[in-house]
Amino acid sequence: MAGKGVTIREVAAHAGVSLGTASRVLSGNPATSPEARTRVSDAVVALGYRPNLQARSLRLTRTNAIGLLVSDVRNPFFADVAHAAEQAALGADYVTLLGNANENVDQQDRYIETFLNQRVDGVVLAPQGRGSGSLQALVDSGLPVVFVDRTVDGFDVPSVTTDSRSGMTEAVAHLAARGHHRIGFIGGPQAISTGRQRYDAFVETLPAHGLVVDDALITFGDFQEESGIRAAEQLLAAPTRPTALIAADNLMALGALAAIRSRGLRIGSDIEVVAFDDIEWLAHYDPPISVIAQDTDAVGRCAVELLMRVINGEEPESIVLTTRFIDRHG
C-alpha cells in the first residue's frame, strides 16, 4: 500500500500509536516521545504517506476560534450545551462559530467543510449517523476534534457523553413501584449512539422489575417533536395502551404530551410521562413532568476543556457524566 491515498489514520494504525500522536508527530509538535516519532516516521516510509499540506497549515496557524456543531439548535438541551461551551471557550480566549446540523448528515458535512475552510483551531461536535465522509476527512486532517453527547464507532476521538443507564434504571424502578406494568418507550434513531444507548438501557432494565420487553410498547422517532406526536399516537392507539411512557429526548416528549392531551387523557392520572433531559418548561408543565436529567452545563464546559487540552498537544481521556431521575409526580 503506497501513495497519496494513504490516510493519517492508516499511518497511526501501522505505527501502533493514536491518531492524535501521529498528527502531532507529522506536524512537528514537540509533545511526542522519540519512540513515537521513530514509529510514525517508519510508518510514513513504509506506506508512502504524503501529508495534506492544506490540513497541515490548519494545525500550524492559530485563529483563536473553534467550531461548535450541535445536532438541533431548536432543542433546548443543545442550546444549553452550546451556551456552556461558548462561555468556557471565551474563558480560554477563544470565540465560537456555531453550526446547526438539524439532525441531518448532509447539513453536518457542509458545516464541517466550512470549519476546515475557516481554519478554526478545533471542533466540538455532536456527530450525525454512523460517520460521514466529511466527518472522516475532519478527523484525518489532524485538526483537534472532540465529540459531545454522541460518539461514532471506529473514530478515535475524545468525547463527553452521559451514562443513560443510571437515570433510566431509576426511572423504570419508579414507574414499576407505582404499579405500571405496561411502560411505553419512544426511542431515538438507532443510527445515533444516544438512540441506541437509551433503548438498550430501557430494555435491559425491565426484567429486574418483572417486566417483559413488549415490542408493541416500543416505537422510534428522530429526536424531533413531530416524530414524538406520531410515535405517541401509535402507542395510544394500541388495544392495550401503555399506562406510562418514557420519551428518549425532550422534543419527542413534547410531541407525546401533545398527542396525549389531544386524546383527552390526563397526564399523571391516565398516563404517566418521563422525559429524557431536564428542560425548564417540563418543570412548569401542568402537571410537572418527571425527567432523566443530564448536567448540560458540565457537558458543554467539559467538551471545551477537552478540546483545549487536545489543541495543547495532550491526549485526554473521554469523560462520561452521570444521569439522574427527578420525580415530579408526587
Q: What does each C-alpha distance from 17 to 13, 36, 150 come to in angstroms?
A: 6, 7, 24
56, part of any domain: no
Q: Are residues 215 and 311 in the same domain?
A: no
Rounded CA gap, 237 and 265, in Å? 12
| Residue whose C-alpha cell is 428542560 | 279
34-47 helix and 8-15 helix, angle to the nearest 10 degrees? 120
pLDDT lower than 50: segments of the chain: 1-4, 58
| Phi and psi based region of residue 91 (left: phi greater than 0; alpha: psi -120 to 50; beta: remaining) | alpha
Rounded CA gap, 112 and 118, in Å? 10
Tell me what pLDDT residue 3 has. Answer: 47
Q: Are residues 121 and 101 in the same domain?
A: yes
Q: Are residues 146 and 192 in the same domain?
A: no
Q: Are residues 286 and 305 in the same domain?
A: no
3-state secondary structure of 132: coil
Q: Are residues 147 and 186 in the same domain?
A: no
Tell me what pLDDT residue 2 has. Answer: 44
301, part of any domain: yes
239, part of any domain: yes
Q: Are residues 274 and 300 in the same domain?
A: no
Q: Are residues 77 and 120 in the same domain?
A: yes
330, part of any domain: no
Rounded CA gap, 313 and 122, in Å? 12
> What are the grid coordinates assigned to 1, written together?
500500500
Q: Are residues 278 and 252 in the same domain?
A: yes
3-state secondary structure of 146: strand
Rounded CA gap, 64 and 84, in Å? 18
Closest CA to 75 of 264, 294, 237, 269: 294
Rounded CA gap, 51 and 15, in Å? 16
Q: pLDDT for 281-298, tens place per residue? A: 888 888 999 999 999 999
289, part of any domain: yes
Q: Are residues 114 and 175 in the same domain?
A: no
Q: Are residues 286 and 302 in the same domain?
A: no
Tell me what pLDDT residue 29 has. Answer: 63
Task: Look up the domain containing 305 and give its range.
Answer: 62-158+296-320
Q: Are residues 193 and 271 in the same domain?
A: yes
Q: Are residues 300 and 84 in contact, defined by beta-carbon separation less than 8 angstroms?
A: yes
57, part of any domain: no
303, part of any domain: yes
Read off the CATH number of the domain in which 131 is found. 3.40.50.2300
Q: Are residues 188 and 289 in the same domain?
A: yes
For the chain, how many structural domains are there in total?
3
52, part of any domain: no
